[in-house]
Amino acid sequence: MRTESMRKAEETLTSMCEERARMLQEQFAVSVNHVHALAILVSTFHYQKSPPALDQETFADYTASTAFERPLLNGVAYAQRVVHAERQLFESQQGWMIKTMKRDPSPVQDEYAPVIYSQETVSYIEALDMMSGEEDRENILRARASGKAVLTRPFRLLESNHLGVVLTFPVYLLDLPDDATAEERVRATAGYLGGAFDVESLVENLLRQLAGNQEIMVNVFDVTNASEPLIMYGTNPPDDHMLFSHVSMLDFGDPFRKHQMKCRYREKP
């Protein structure tokens, strides 16, 4: 029988879940917008000035003092597109060798995406070819062909090994019309500005601050492939003893990916 108290409990769960989904989506959107602005900063000061009016120290200072604008990102970085014919010159100018994400010297590739500017919090990705990691590589290819912000599926981030997703914006050498083809976009690509959403620790922080946190259990899923939901946040509890759950929709701004939040009571209400 559905009692009045059960109806109330269900209503409370719904509103708590909707509130959490709204907050997460909002903080996500704020962070994405600020990374967009950083991509424009690199375009303006690195590529539209000759010689470039940007260096690692300036990038590190600026990104450190604006970190509060990107509450869910553990750090941001800029990876430059380097084709193989330019590799030697690039490495001698930088004074370091391009490395893989496993930290070996990079083998020969058609092209590379070594990180040349990084926020101090992710300085460990400097000089790493971001195309050497499967998730980052897919993001780079999709970002530059589309001209839009893109997200990876959830995966274990470098160093922290926390579950998260990477956000990538493309940076172009010239102003492209909105209807530029994918091929034109690839040809005009200068590099990639992005960062990692440390979902495991930063979403935990966000949820901890909310009233009622002790009573409910929150999961976030990447449901791009509806038949194979990927866990993005939280531990998946066994379904059996659970009375009801609520699913809230999430929009993180990449139309290629679908996300949702699922909330339940920790104990039978």
Q: Which of 131, 194, 197, 252 binds ligand WA2 (CB under 6 A)?
A: 194
The least distance separating ligand WA2 from the CB of residue 108, rounded to whole angstroms, comes to 21
Listed in order, strand segments (DSSP E) in the chain are: 73-80, 82-83, 111-112, 115-118, 150-151, 155-156, 163-172, 189-197, 216-222, 230-233, 245-250, 259-265
Q: Which of 16, 35, 41, 115 binds ligand WA2 (CB under 6 A)?
A: 115
Decide: is 158 part of the binding site for ligand WA2 (CB under 6 A). Answer: yes
The least distance separating ligand WA2 from the CB of residue 68, rounded to whole angstroms, comes to 19
Decide: is 130 part of the binding site for ligand WA2 (CB under 6 A). Answer: yes
Decide: is 157 part of the binding site for ligand WA2 (CB under 6 A). Answer: yes
Q: By C-beta, is 188 or 242 nearer to ligand WA2? A: 188
CB-side neighbour CA atoms (13 Å) of 245:
19
Number of Cβ within 10 Å of residue 174's Cβ equals 12
Which region holds residue 234: left if phi is over 0, alpha if psi is between -120 and 50, else beta?
Answer: left
Q: Which residues contact 173 (CB under 8 A, 6 or more apart)?
A: 47, 188, 189, 190
Q: Scanning residues 195 to 214, which ones bind ligand WA2 (CB under 6 A)? A: 195-196
Q: By C-beta, is 8 or 156 nearer to ligand WA2? A: 156
Q: Are 153 and 224 in contact (CB under 8 A)?
A: yes
Decide: is 190 part of the binding site for ligand WA2 (CB under 6 A). Answer: no
Decide: is 35 part of the binding site for ligand WA2 (CB under 6 A). Answer: no
- Which tokens is 235 given? 């531990």
Closest residue to ligand WA2 using C-beta atoms: 194
- Which tokens is 92 given? 């001698």
The gap from C-alpha 230 to its chain's centroid, in whole angstroms, comes to 15
The least distance separating ligand WA2 from the CB of residue 168, rounded to whole angstroms, comes to 4
Q: Interface with ligand WA2 by CB under 6 A: which residues?
A: 77, 79, 115, 122, 125, 130, 133, 136, 139-140, 157-158, 166, 168, 192, 194-196
